[in-house]
Every structure is written in C-alpha cells, then in structure tokens.
Amino acid sequence: MNGTLIAYFSHRGYNYVNGRIIDLETGNTERIANALRDKTGGDLFEIRAEKEYPRDYKECTLEAQKELRAEARPKLAEIPDLSAYDTVFLGYPNWWGTMPMPVHTFLESADFGGKRIFPFCTHEGSGLGNSERDIRALCPAAEIRPGLAIRGSKAADAGAEPDGWLKKFYK
C-alpha cells in the first residue's frame, strides 16, 4: 500500500471571488486537486453529495449553513475503496469555518487509521478555519499533516503554493 488519493469536494457555479460573485465552470478546489494530481501522480476522486448543491451562491451558502447547524451527513453519490491508499490529499472549500458536510460524511465512511491526510482548502479570507481540528476529531487514528489554504481567487494560477507545501510536508 503506497498509493496516493486526491479526494476533493468542489462547488461549480456561482462563487464568491475577490468580492464579487462569478460563475465558475470548474470549482476552485477542483483546480487545486487537478494540480496536485499532476504533481503527485495520485488518483483523483470527487466527493459528491447525492443531492447537488444549488449553483446560486446565496442558496448554496444557506444550504451549507443549515447542514452545518444540523450536523447533517449528506448521503454521498459514491464512496471509494481506500484500502490501496496510504496517503490522502483532502480538498474542500471553507464553508462557514470548516469543511462542507459531505466531506464529514466521506471521513466517517471509511477507516483512515494509519493513513496520512493532507488537507487543502480554498477560501476567500478565512484560511483553513476549524477544518484541521475537525479532521483530527473525525480521524483520530490518522496522521494529519499541516494543511494548505489557497485563496479561491488565486486557484487558477496557484502554482508555487502547492509546490512549496509538497516539498516541505509530502515525503
């Protein structure tokens, strides 16, 4: 077991970027996930809720806030077999100070014991928020490596940020 998985949740549609709402055909977190795949050779897996989130920014954020307050665990469209992986890059946007609730579902869906988890998130000013703490609580037997936070507005050309992070922590 030496495989690397890049598992990510990303929101396509209207997103808050640089103080404006813009329509993204490819979500910011997906852009970073693809860059990490290119740099690590890992397998890519998109974490998707069975029920898709609204494309509209305001509707999506209200749904995300409602799920967070209810500690909801949205059903996922698919759950991968993690047995071949010892390293998991875990990507998500920072929604309301932590990971979207489908990422919580993903982390509770499998045994991450003995695996290394490298969190990475996109945000517009709130960094990783509480997500590293939340990952540790959900996966106490995993090794949680220092996370990477990239502003969503820089996701399309974030080149050097993932490189430096990988060189420092991905060994």
pLDDT digit string (tens) for 137-154?
999 999 999 999 999 888
Separation of alpha carbons 136 and 143, rounded Å? 8
pLDDT by residue (tens digit) across 66-116?
A: 999 999 999 999 999 999 999 999 999 999 999 999 999 999 999 999 999
What are the phi and psi torsion angles at 22 (to 5°)? -130, 155
Domain boundaries, the chain: 3-169
Q: What topology does CATH give the domain 3-169? A: Rossmann fold (3.40.50)
Total Cβ atoms within 10 A of residue 167: 9
Q: Which residues contact 86 (CB under 8 A, 6 or more apart)?
A: 1, 2, 3, 4, 114, 115, 116
Residue among 111, 94, 92, 2 nearest 49 (CA) = 92
pLDDT by residue (tens digit) across 3-26?
A: 999 999 999 998 888 888 889 889
Residue 38 · residue 63 · CB < 8 Å: no
Whether 1 shows a pLDDT value over 70: the answer reads no
